[in-house]
Amino acid sequence: MSAVTDRLPTFPWDKLEPYKATAAAHPDGIVDLSVGTPVDPVPELIQKALVAAADSPGYPTVWGTAELRDALTGWVQRRLGARGVGHTNVLPVVGSKELVAWLPTQLGLGAGDQVAYPRLAYPTYEVGARLAGAEPVVYDTETFAADAAGTSDLDPARVKLLWLNSPSNPTGRVLAKDELTRIVAWAREHGVLVFSDECYLELGWEAEPVSVLHPDVCGGTYEGIVAVHSLSKRSNLAGYRAAFLAGDSAVLGDLLQIRKHGGMMTPAPVQAATVAALGDDVHVTEQRARYAARRAALRTALEAHGFRIEHSEASLYLWATRDEPCWETVGYLAGLGILVAPGDFYGAAGDRFVRVAFTATDERVEAAVKRLG
């Protein structure tokens, strides 16, 4: 077993347990802002779709029903501005974290290959590389500027997979259209496959996130690019494990065959629920309004308390600092009964920041605001 675990970093959330205990001891209870898990109800129309499909005794298909593929292609074209998307350009997956963790393995990557991801990033990008035996390597977006040759550890001959993440987890940073275009052009020049994690794309606050599938970015062709989307945040479906890929049909075709062999099937009731969720924008607008109010309240309280917020123009997080080591901030806030995530969970560059999620209930957010006041 140690041979397996030696390949992986320590599971970061285990380090937070003592601070969680401190926060939980607060007389008014813990306000847990450390994990971005949805807390609001699953919209009723989605629940009804799930129940209506509950009598599903047979195996679902990995590719999904025709109705699901219609819903995926329709949403990608309507919401992302993509053009000419057909059934071969989409693929349902069993939650986006599973995809991120196992993608390098499914692509056949291994020793000698590099998997690149942002310097501040969701830890599972690194985990996926290590599970495959590939080399994880970080980059800054400036790496892909024309005059940046030799300023990164990326070896274009060895990079086989490049992760984009906009809006970013943890920082909430949104990559501008010209940045995305430049990175896609660099990747295509060097034959590097791009996967763009866009799970927070519908949660832009001070910027309008753009998909890598937008024709202004990809030039109207999906060669070498795939976007990753999730219904966990937009529709409160983290418990359903509903996510999907869209992009290069050749890449998705290969993944479809691999996932067939692996039995990676989205349950039939979840497929039906996904169709309902993607066909309705009202619940998305309502949920955005909830998050916007919580975000505004927490940001105002944190800034009044002496925190500085950087980026955070999108996603479900505030990237906050008091210009001190992140674990000191975690400890300080735990003493107020507020649990947040230390920035170094997401890379050494975050060691003076904390990530503050605004996915708690209105009542808990109000409690946090009072404590900060």
Residues 290 and 359 in one domain: yes
Cβ atoms within 10 Å, residue 35:
14
What's 336's domain CATH number?
3.90.1150.10
Distance CA 340, CA 329 (A): 9
Instruction: Look up residue 11 and give its DSSP letter.
Output: -
Residues 9 and 133 in one domain: no
Share the mean pLDDT of the chain. Answer: 94
Q: Quote the domain boundaries for residue 55.
A: 44-278
Provide the domain count of the chain. Answer: 2
Residues 244 and 359 in one domain: no
Residues 230 and 168 in one domain: yes
Q: What pLDDT band is residue 189 in, cutting at 50, 70 and 90?
A: very high
Residues 353 and 289 in one domain: yes
Residues 159 and 240 in one domain: yes
Residue 238 reports pLDDT greater than 80: yes
For 342, list phi and psi in degrees, rounded to 5.
Answer: -70, 140
pTM of the full structure: 0.94
Length of the chain: 373
The model's pLDDT over 351-366, given as tens digits with 9 standing for 90+, comes to 999 999 999 999 999 9
Beta bridge partners of 163: 195
Answer for the pair 134, 113: CB distance below 8 angstroms, yes or no. yes
The pLDDT of residue 146? 61
The pLDDT of residue 5? 60
How is residue 246 written in tokens? Answer: 């869209």
Domain end position, chosen among 255, 278, 301: 278
The burial of 89, by beta-carbon neighbours within 10 Å (0-12 exposed, 13-18 middle, 19 or more buried), is given as buried
Residues 149 and 190 in one domain: yes
Residue range 222-244: mean pLDDT, rounded: 97
What's 87's domain CATH number?
3.40.640.10
Residues 213 and 299 in one domain: no
Residues 237 and 174 in one domain: yes
Domain end position, chosen among 278, 298, 319: 278
Domain end position, chosen among 238, 256, 278: 278
Residues 257 and 301 in one domain: no
Q: What is the dihedral of CA 324, 320, 32, 240, to 10 degrees?
A: -130
